[in-house]
Amino acid sequence: MKSDSSKPDNQSGIKPKNTALKLVLAAVAMFGFGFALVPLYDVFCEITGINGKTAGPVERVEQWVDTSRTITVQFITTNNAGMPWEFEALQEEVEMHPGAWTQVEFWALNPTTEDMVGQAVPSVSPSEVAQYVQKTECFCFDQQKLKAGEGRKMPLIFSLDPELPAHVRKVTMSYTLFDAGAFAE
Amino acid sequence: MTTATASHDDHGHHGPAKGIMRWVLTTNHKDIGTLYLWFAFTMLLTGGVMALIVRTELFQPGMQLIEPEFYNQMTTMHGLIMVFGAIMPAFVGLANWMVPLMIGAPDMALPRMNNWSFWILPFAFGMLLFTLFTEAGAPNFGWTFYAPLSTTYAPSSVTYFIFGVHMMGISSIMGAINIIVTILNLRAPGMTLMKMPLFVWTWFITAYLLVAVMPVLAGVVTMMLMDIHFGTSFFDAAGGGDPVLFQHVFWFFGHPEVYIMILPAFGIVSQIIPTFARKPLFGYASMVYATSSIAFLSFIVWAHHMFTVGMPLQTELFFMYATMLIAIPTGVKVFNWVSTMFRGSMTFETPMLFALAFVVLFTIGGFSGLMLAIAPADFQYHDTYFVVAHFHYVLVPGALFGIIAGVYYWLPKWTGNYYNEKLGKFHFWMSFIGVNVTFFPMHFVGLAGMPRRIPDYALQFADFNAIATVGAFIFGFSQLIFLFILIKTIRGGEKATDQVWEGAEGLEWTIPSPAPYHTFAEAPHVK
């Protein structure tokens, strides 16, 4: 093109430079949108509870306890690949009423000869229950630092919202333990 | 094309410069189109050799030829090179050559950027390919590079892969911007949007898809880069991230990407079928709207690639129905192609044969896609050879046959010579037989449970795999016939008329054959 591209040289009257600039901006915006998907994904999962992700600590409030039904809550622990710790729930399951506060214990032991940092990541099944799980204390809120050979009992205090849908009778809470050495705080 | 005529010199134009610098410095859309097409063909052969290594290993059960680690590198590199190195650049090359000729523009709107967007590519793929010779080996995590395979467990060469993808992305975005600006601003007087040939329309829509999703791909590899080198944890659950997030962001790019690889082929076929049926395209407007609908829907179906990650029922249902909805505009297109042929006076030159094979075989790939869209059934098909059969049917006899059809269709216009019709038909039949012998048996082994991306398999899959390997070699080596035909046609042959094909209509057939170095210096008037 020999013509000055800032002047319209066509019947449409649009300036090519402007069109190009707009498209570059669109591309940059989409690059940003890619990153915006990260918080959007979390917000979406939190609102809908579809990822089985439970929320952070809540204030303990004494609430109405629905004694008319009993929910079985099971606990599962998993070590992520390469995580050498012993990690188990000290009770396989508990029976509880929605609204009642319950404390359970987990056990972790670092059998290696090095100090390590672990991070447990929670998940709830069925995933629709995630939004009804209230935790005031959970070892999964913080990184767990264990010296070589050290073991520790770790508490979890939680309740299930009495609004829990009536068809739910059994809830599985699963914790996966990761080596968080790279992310030590 | 070194045979470009000097007949336009008296208009004050100059012909191409001499020597290698002509190609390095060129801003001519025809030169750049040629560069893109040769680059894509080189990559097709490179990725093809990798596919043949994979197929050779799979000829018999057991490990006989290569190490499993190298097998993983071959499947990964084959996918990356075919998608980003062969199919996409070939389409950009065709757009460079044909879009200005079809809308009566003197060149692309941003010729210097055009040069740049091509010349980035050899460096991007040089960087990707050189990882094969490093100690860590090439990327081995599959072309979809799911985290944490591509982050926590990746070979150290992953960083070269990431920068390679960045460069390819920049190249594609620049190419797409150039095409949109050209179409919006440089159309000849009278060439309204709804008069544009369908190849221009499909590329116009594809270019918008590219601008929308290639930056998201750049974003996801940037997140990988940060996870690997800067201690972030986008995809690492230990640090609060989520590996499933990777799949969401990747497929938000990845699904529009599969339409980026097929829409221009739709356009090519929509040019070829009317020419050889000697009838105008049936349902032009519905073709435009169908293409736009497919492009729109491509943004809301991505999670059908992830039915097995543990999504809730409502989400699975949404993505299942949204995916099935795409069958409607696609069905409109197939209907229109068939209706165009109905009662046409058809002849079966090589481009038409490839276009017809496209319609039939792409539809087979579309149907297996519908099967995969059924969420409950997908749990059986997921990550099996059925998926491999599906996407190879839409990409090889789909996208690649579309490109080959386009090359045969426009080759006489580019070179001024007709190709040898007998050889072209020989190439077609060898490719057609080869592609079906290769990929059709994969449906069966996939439904029977053979997983993809594994170098060994259970004994009961042995016969079908042996057949597929034979087919792959037939298909692979018949592309050398294509290469021979191309070189032969460039060097000489029966002189082509300006219109080239009896039934051809459009601005590109009004200029001389071979197309002069500069065309439409004065815009033609379209009635």
DSSP B270-286: HHHHHHHHTSPPTTHHH
Per-residue H/E/C for A34-85: HHHHHHHHHHHHHHHCCCCCCCCCCCCCCCCCCCCCCEEEEEEEEECCCCCC
Instruction: Determine whether B304 is an active site residue.
Output: yes
Nearest chain B residue to A79 by CA distance is: B238
CB B81 within 8 A of CB B50: yes
**Which residue type sits at B294?**
I
- Say which residues have a Cβ less than 8 Å from residue A17's Cβ, sequence separation at least 6: A5, A6
Q: Quote the CA–CA distance of B329 and B241 in Å, as a whole number.
A: 38
- Is CATH 3.40.50.920 what the domain over A71-183 is classified as, yes or no? no
Predicted confidence band at B299 (pLDDT cuts at 50, 70, 90)? very high
pTM comes to: 0.90
Q: Quote the CA–CA distance of B10 and B21 in Å, as a whole number.
A: 24
Enumerate residues 198 to 227 of chain B having a beta carbon within 8 A of any beta carbon in chain A. 211-220, 223
* Helix B313-325 × helix B327-341 angle, to 10°: 20
What's the DSSP call for residue B449? T
**Number of C-beta neighbours around residue B473 at 10 A:** 16
Predicted confidence band at A58 (pLDDT cuts at 50, 70, 90)? confident
pLDDT digits (tens, 9 = 90+) for B224-269: 999 999 988 899 888 878 899 999 999 999 999 999 999 999 999 9
* Tokens coding B501: 């094909």
The residues that bridge with A77 in the sheet, in sequence order, are: A175
Q: Is the pLDDT of residue A4 over 90?
A: no
In chain A, what is the straight-line distance between the N-terminal and C-terminal CA atoms, in Å? 58
pLDDT value of position B6: 42
Strands (E), B73-231: none
Cβ within 8 Å, pair B238-A183: yes
Candidates B429, B461, B438; CA nearest to B61 is: B461
Query: Do you find a cis peptide bond into B89, omega within 30 degrees of 0?
Result: no
Q: Measured at the alpha carbon of residue B250, what is the angle toward residues B246 and B251, in degrees to the nearest 5?
A: 120
Percent of chain B at pLDDT > 90 equals: 91
Higher-confidence position of A42 and B520: B520
Secondary-structure percent of chain A, ordered helix, strand, coil, rounded to 5: 25, 35, 40
pLDDT value of position A10: 52
Tokens 């792959």 label which residue? B472
* Tokens coding B106: 């003197």
What's the DSSP call for residue B300? G
Name the minimum distance, in Å, from the CA of B405 to any CA of chain A. 31
Q: Is the pLDDT of residue B1 over 50?
A: no
Query: What is the rounded average pLDDT of the residues B456-467?
Result: 96
Instruction: Determine whether B143 is an active site residue.
Output: yes
Residue ranges of domains in chain A? 14-48, 71-183
Q: Quote the CA–CA distance of A130 and A42 in Å, as a whole number.
A: 13
pLDDT digits (tens, 9 = 90+) for A85-95: 999 999 999 99
CB pairs A-B closer than 8 Å: 119
For B230, counting Cβ atoms within 10 Å of its Cβ (0-12 exposed, 13-18 middle, 19+ buried), the class is: exposed
Name the minimum distance, in Å, from the CA of B254 to any CA of chain A. 13
**Which residues in chain B have their CB less than 8 angstroms from residue A80's CB?**
237-238
* Tokens coding A65: 């306890």
For B113, counting Cβ atoms within 10 Å of its Cβ (0-12 exposed, 13-18 middle, 19+ buried), the class is: middle
**Which residues in chain B have their CB less than 8 angstroms from residue A182's CB?**
231, 236, 238-239
Name the minimum distance, in Å, from the CA of B150 to any CA of chain A. 15
The side-by-side arrangement of strands in the sheet containing A133-138 is A86-89, A102-109, A151-160, A133-138
Q: Quote the CA–CA distance of B432 and B427 in Å, as a whole number.
A: 8
Instruction: Determine whether B286 is an active site residue.
Output: no
* Tokens coding B227: 């996870």
Q: Quote the CA–CA distance of B307 and B313 in Å, as a whole number.
A: 10
* Tokens coding B108: 């692309």
Predicted confidence band at A60 (pLDDT cuts at 50, 70, 90)? confident
pLDDT digits (tens, 9 = 90+) for B48-74: 999 999 999 999 999 999 999 999 999
CB-nearest to B245 from A30, A38, A119 is A38
Predicted confidence band at B356 (pLDDT cuts at 50, 70, 90)? very high
The verdict on B349 touching A (C-beta cutoff 8 Å) is no
pLDDT value of position A49: 64
* Tokens coding B179: 């095409």
Predicted confidence band at B122 (pLDDT cuts at 50, 70, 90)? very high
Percent of chain B at pLDDT > 70 equals: 97
Q: Is the pLDDT of residue A45 over 80?
A: no
Higher-confidence position of A73 and A17: A73
Q: Is the pLDDT of residue B332 over 70?
A: yes
pLDDT value of position A14: 64
The verdict on B147 touching A (C-beta cutoff 8 Å) is no
**Which residues in chain B have their CB less than 8 angstroms from residue A27's CB?**
173, 177, 211, 214-215
Range from A91-100, B36-45, B310-319 carrying the lowest mean pLDDT: B310-319
Percent of chain A at pLDDT > 90 equals: 53
Q: Calculate the CA B406 to chain-centre distance.
A: 12
CB-nearest to A30 from B212, B248, B311 is B212
Predicted confidence band at B322 (pLDDT cuts at 50, 70, 90)? very high
Q: Is the pLDDT of residue B345 over 70?
A: yes
* Helix B284-297 × helix B198-229 angle, to 10°: 10
- Say which residues have a Cβ less than 8 Å from residue A142's Cβ, sequence separation at least 6: none
The catalytic residue among B97, B160, B203, B259 is B259
Cβ within 8 Å, pair B238-A180: yes
Instruction: Determine whether B187 is an active site residue.
Output: no
pLDDT value of position A13: 59
Q: Quote the CA–CA distance of A126 and B487 in Å, as a whole number.
A: 63
CB B483 within 8 A of CB B40: no
Instruction: Determine whether B333 is an active site residue.
Output: yes
CB < 8 Å & 24+ apart, contacts of B306-315: B306/B244, B306/B247, B306/B248, B306/B251, B307/B375, B307/B378, B307/B379, B307/B382, B308/B378, B308/B379, B308/B382, B308/B383, B309/B244, B309/B247, B310/A52, B310/A127, B310/B244, B311/A50, B312/A50, B312/A127, B312/A128, B314/A50, B315/A50
Q: What are phi and psi of A145, to 5 degrees?
A: -105, 120
Length of chain A, in residues: 185
Instruction: Determine whether B443 is an active site residue.
Output: no
pLDDT value of position B284: 97
pLDDT value of position B496: 96
Say what the alpha-carbon torsion angle B390, B395, B397, B398 is, to the nearest 10 degrees: 100
Q: Is the pLDDT of residue A2 over 60?
A: no
Name the minimum distance, in Å, from the CA of A32 to any CA of chain B. 8
- Say which residues have a Cβ less than 8 Å from residue B123's Cβ, sequence separation at least 6: B167
pLDDT value of position B15: 73
Which architecture does CATH list for B9-509? Up-down Bundle (1.20)
The catalytic residue among B30, B55, B304, B518 is B304
pLDDT digits (tens, 9 = 90+) for B415-442: 999 999 999 999 999 999 999 999 999 9
Q: Is the pLDDT of residue B339 over 70?
A: yes
Query: What is the rounded average pLDDT of the residues B393-405?
Result: 97
Predicted confidence band at B13 (pLDDT cuts at 50, 70, 90)? low
pLDDT value of position A12: 53
CB-nearest to B312 from A20, A31, A127 is A127
Largest CA distance in chain B: 71
pLDDT value of position B515: 95
Higher-confidence position of A60 and B156: B156
pLDDT digits (tens, 9 = 90+) for B139-168: 999 999 999 999 989 999 999 999 999 999
Q: Is the pLDDT of residue A56 over 70?
A: yes
Enumerate residues 119 to 158 of chain A having a beta carbon within 8 A of any beta carbon in chain B. 119, 121, 127-128
**Which residues in chain A have their CB less than 8 angstroms from residue B193's CB?**
none
Q: Which of A1, A2, A4, A5 to mutate to test the interface with B (most CBs of B within 10 A)?
A: A1
pLDDT digits (tens, 9 = 90+) for B170-209: 999 999 999 999 999 999 999 999 999 999 999 999 999 9
Candidates B254, B261, B299; CA nearest to B143 is: B254
Instruction: Determine whether B368 is an active site residue.
Output: no
Mean pLDDT, chain B, rounded, equals: 94
Name the minimum distance, in Å, from the CA of A62 to any CA of chain B. 30
Secondary-structure percent of chain B, ordered helix, strand, coil, rounded to 5: 70, 0, 30
CB-nearest to B315 from A11, A28, A50 is A50
The verdict on B152 touching A (C-beta cutoff 8 Å) is no
CB A129 within 8 A of CB A164: yes
Q: Which of B27, B112, B151, B181 to mutate to test the interface with A (most CBs of A within 10 A)?
A: B181
Candidates B252, B254, B225; CA nearest to B166 is: B225
Q: Quote the CA–CA distance of B414 and A88 in Å, as a whole number.
A: 71
pLDDT value of position B9: 42
